[in-house]
Structure 1
Amino acid sequence: MELPRKSVQEVEIDHLLAEEFACDPLFAQRFLSGCGLGSLNFRTITVTVEPSLGGEGFGDLLVQGEVDANRVALLIEDKISAAPAVRQALRYSAYAGRLRAQGWDAVWTILVAPAAYTGERKSYDASIDLESVAKLISSPDSVRQEYRRSIIDRAIRKRIATGVQIPDLALHRMKSEYLEFATTWCATEGIAFDFPPLRPSYYDGDSWVEPIRDARLPTHVKLRHRLWTSVKEPGGQVDLIASPADEDEMARFFENAPEGAIVTPYSSGKGVQASVRLPEMRQASGFDRETTSAAFSAMCKLVQWYLGVGAKQGLP
């Protein structure tokens, strides 16, 4: 996933819940009751895994349905152990507002997480413990029922066994210095990049700075800086991402790739990205002005390339 990166357990639960909503006509009613939203006569129409939040990243699950004659949507976020992404609950809320403006009678944002999870629980319209969700799974085939419940049980047990992530103070300091430098650099260069705010805490794997916005770009296009790309392969990377992207836009990326950039599919083919490799920057060595300046310069070149290719194609 994109933002935030998802564990294998979270992906498995996403698809487990999607199948329950799609295949068990009564699951949604039990689920809504467990969320404290009442035992509604909800009928599922469509289920989407990893729905786009209108250019603000992706959600985990979008369930569209009806309650009597009313159109009702459920925006669901699944959590096991990962920390909340930047403005995650706010992004869900903002997209829910857009759906209501499009004519949906009701849109609820719902957090599904273990009982011990202490993230942005109160920032959603409703929440339900993952342990309770397991009990909602029902099937006349007892073997199938226990197997599907065991998927959730294994995920919770693994979370307990591996423990909760401990905030990385060195990474928080490095990102603080990064964002302070970004403000100075942009003011000096006359560049109006919009960076995400500093979060209260970061964890060892939080190597990405995203989304980074430029007002000249369409809302579905963003930048990000990967301070390091992997443990095994040293190196950082700047990406310009268009997602969702249609066939014409993808073709422009692949046929007119910016000089020195690598173009690859993004989000299982839903989008496309152009990437420029850079030196990595980690906690051990600390914040590096030269590497960060190179990253910002690479972002400027990618933005100019995108705007130039768009202009040649007669795009807005």
Structure 2
Amino acid sequence: MPKYYINPTKQTLHGSFSQSLEPVLTIHSGDSVQYKTLDALWGLEAFQPSGERQVSSFRNKNSGHALAGPIKIIGAEPGMTLAITINKLKTGNWGFSFAGGNQAYKEMLGIPKKDNYQLNWHLDRENMIGYSNENHQVDLSPFMGAIGMPPAEDGIHSTVPPRFCGGNIDCKELVEGSILYLPISVSGGLVSVGDGHALQGDGEVSTQAIECPMEIVDLTFTLKEEMRLQMPRAYTPKGWITFGFDESLDDASMIAMNGMLDLMVEEFNMTRMEAYTLASLVVDLRITQVVNRVKGVHALLPHHALRKSEEAGLT
């Protein structure tokens, strides 16, 4: 299958989701695209000790995350599912992380409202280690924070909240080797990608991961015409994942669990009540993020955690 390339240019960069955006590339199901992306804040370089740096002149005051695309997939229609295989991820050699943007959280955590804090990171891609300017050291686990499509409603839509059609999901499990399944919301799909993360914890509690540019984001896009999803799901190195998004963590949890019960019924040919009973034993509910206006929860069913007596399992 052909492979296409998208670099960050005036034509390919945008800071919102909208079905009115013209696609920068049109591909067929099964094709692959390799992206090079800016960090979420449109940076062209690492922060200087002074706190200054150069940002893209293509950013305007209303721009959200720096996204690349959109791309159109021939034959994609609402109701279908788009499978996005994450073939390869390579970060740039620098990143940053910031705390202090959410005043309500700071108050609850006993942090003065005026306090802010930033770490600048050197990213050693060969050894997958990050080194901060304050002598911290962490293991890297890169993923893309934002992969998604615009909703069907007209107008310009923020990049901040995740939606049923993807977007700013910010799930740390979507690493290299994962497959993300998204419900298609508009004709052609119009997929955009951005917000590279070198490392993030579940919750993304300070509002940021290690935000970084990405040198390589290699994705394959495949239409699944018979798969009908209401919410995203993913097949990852750790297991199957289903997602829930809502302003309420309780409701987001039940949306994620609803998707997991659907998956277990499909994959194991069991009743919904049977799946519900077993989910309490083998499924983990995790807080994806609490900072994107709409909160995220993902349900994780680890590989081989549940087996039929004849050793049947997910494939």
TM-score, normalised to structure 2, is: 0.25
Structure showing greater radius of gyration is 1
Q: Work out which structure has the larger RCO, using CA pairs closer than 8 Å and 6 or more positions apart in sequence.
A: 2
Higher helix share: 1
Higher strand fraction (1 or 2): 2
